Amino acid sequence: MTTFLRRLLAVLLTLGAIAAPFAPVLAATARIKDIVDIEGVRENQLVGYGLIVGLNGTGDSLNNSPFTRQSLQAMLERLGVNTQGESVRTANVAAVMVTANLPPFATQGSRIDITVSALGDSDSLQGGTLLVTPLLGADGEVYAIAQGPVVINGFKASGDAATVISGVPTTGRITNGGLIEREIGFELGTQRTLRLALKNPDLTTARRIAMSINDFIGVPTATPEDPATVRITLPYGFNGNIVDLLTDIEQLVVDTDMPAKIVIDENSGIIVMGKDVRVSTVAVAQSNLTVTISENPTVVQPNPLSLGQTAVQPQTNIQVLTRDSNLALVEESVTLQQLVDGLNALGISPRDLIAILQSIKAAGALQAEIEVL
């Protein structure tokens, strides 16, 4: 058995023998308000198209951005300036997409933050001012009006031979730049029944939430309908409305549960494992493959009196070294902590760990779901 697998087996078996009898099973606890969303209490996305003016020569080039030119001419015509048939040349205007989130129960006249993003070939939105822009909801109705000076988190500085860019100067925010004009009607206090939507659907967690609510109220109030939904009904004779009931139960603490899962991001090498991941008895072997490529170009001289030219002939040498390892046995019921500690002690890289976990899963010995991003 190779040194690598001998050390892997020793560490895993030692950790399993020591930690298994004494390792407590700890459940994660959380308040109900932190793990559920209440029906009707939600944000709504708004979007609009507008113009930013006042840029210091960093706006859209009108020849390359016809939508900016058309929007500029239409705006000037609404203000009584006729530019039809004229050649408009300016680099101080940029077309942008304006986005915002309409908070739940937002009232008419209150303000929200908005985000602007360049739509054309503008270099920077620094110093610009967004003109009045209506923000539409999914139903096509106008719910807010946006306007104000743009603040960006980046900058761009350029010269004849060099350019420096920090952050993203083509996006920015306007704090309190949106004024709400239309409210979304939803009378929470008049509801007799509501649904609680679990942010991480799970049957066990849904049942525990319902049991916790019913034990606190003293009467059957909550019913788990599926892994993602718990329905609550205002009890008969309750001293208050549904808002009072939600206020009473949202501070209740529940032991949350989750399926055994491993999330892998192969691009960055990030691996996240849940606490309930288990490994059944399996034999593992790893082969170390080393590929060496060297270039040794040689000079080729032409024959005398051939009128040829000296040339360089490429010569590539490739060597492949493979070190095969014997099978190592990983005992059953190795926990996540034991597995991670053992692999970390051996200096296993994330790339190698990804391949090992995927191979163990393919063999049916990994009791967890693997999600690859």
Tens digit of pLDDT for each residue in 4-60? Answer: 545 554 444 444 443 444 344 455 788 999 999 999 888 999 999 999 999 988 888
Residue 16 and residue 334 in contact, taking contact as beta carbons nearer than 8 Å: yes
Choice between 320 and 279, residue whose per-residue pLDDT is larger: 279
More confident residue, 41 or 288: 41
Q: What is the mean pLDDT of residues 174-182?
A: 94
Give the least confident one: 261-265, 281-285, 320-324: 320-324
pLDDT attached to residue 128: 93
**Percent above pLDDT 90 for the chain:** 36
Residue ranges covered by each domain of the chain: 3-26+261-372, 29-40+187-256, 44-180
For residues 275 and 272, give the distance between their C-alpha atoms in angstroms, rounded to a whole number: 10
Options 1.10.357, 3.30.1360, 2.30.30, 2.20.25; CATH of 29-40+187-256: 3.30.1360
Rg (C-alpha) for the chain, rounded Å, is: 32
* pLDDT value of residue 246: 92
pLDDT of residue 329: 52
Of the candidates 263, 296, 267, 281, the one whose C-alpha atom is nearest the C-alpha of residue 368 is 263
CA atoms of 210 and 200, how far apart (whole Å): 15
pTM score > 0.75 for this model? Answer: no
Asked whether 286 and 353 are in contact (CB, 8 A), the reply is: no
Pick the more confident residue, 308 or 240.
240
How far apart (Å, rounded) are the C-alpha atoms in residues 68 and 64? 9
Q: What spatial distance separates the first Cα and last Cα of the chain, rounded to whole Å?
A: 35
Burial 219-232 (b: 16+ CB within 10 A, else e): eebbbbeeebbbbb
Q: How far apart are CA 291 and CA 158, in angstroms?
A: 44
Residue 332 contacts residue 280 (beta carbons within 8 Å): yes
User: Regarding beta strands 261-265 and 369-372, do their DSSP bridges make them parallel or antiparallel, or are they unpaired?
Assistant: parallel
Q: Identify which of 3-17, 77-91, 157-171 has the greatest average pLDDT.
A: 77-91
Asked if 339 and 367 count as a contact pair (C-beta separation under 8 A), the reply is no
In whole angstroms, give the CA distance from residue 36 to residue 198. 4
Distance CA 191, CA 211 (A): 22
What pLDDT score does 295 carry? 53
